[in-house]
Amino acid sequence: MRLDKFLKVSRLIKRRTVANEACDAGRVTINDKPAKASANVKEGDIIEIAFGNKSVKVEVLNVQETVKKEEAKELYKYL
């Protein structure tokens, strides 16, 4: 699954366009490497997102095309 779509589906970032812009600005890394919005995300990947002065680091547990709002937190775990 594309990185921008995963960020939206998992609700780490609310909109796909915002996820796209964050990737283009270099604020998103996968396994400590800068990632493009089109990068492929798979289970076990470590995603880090820089929000201003705060950083969020998560491990991908599951990849699904669609998910209910209540189940979105099951796609990743905070590190």
**What is the chain's pLDDT, residue by residue, as a tens digit (79 residues)?**
999 999 999 999 999 999 999 999 999 999 999 999 999 999 999 999 999 899 999 999 999 998 999 999 999 999 9
Q: How much is the pLDDT for 78?
A: 95
How many domains is the chain partitioned into structurally? 1
Any idea of the CA torsion for 16, 44, 49, 56, to the nearest 10 degrees?
A: 120
Residue 24, CB half-sphere, CA atoms under 13 Å: how many? 6
For the whole prediction, is pTM greater than 0.85? yes
Q: 36: domain CATH number? A: 3.10.290.10
Provide the residue range defining the domain that includes 9. 3-78
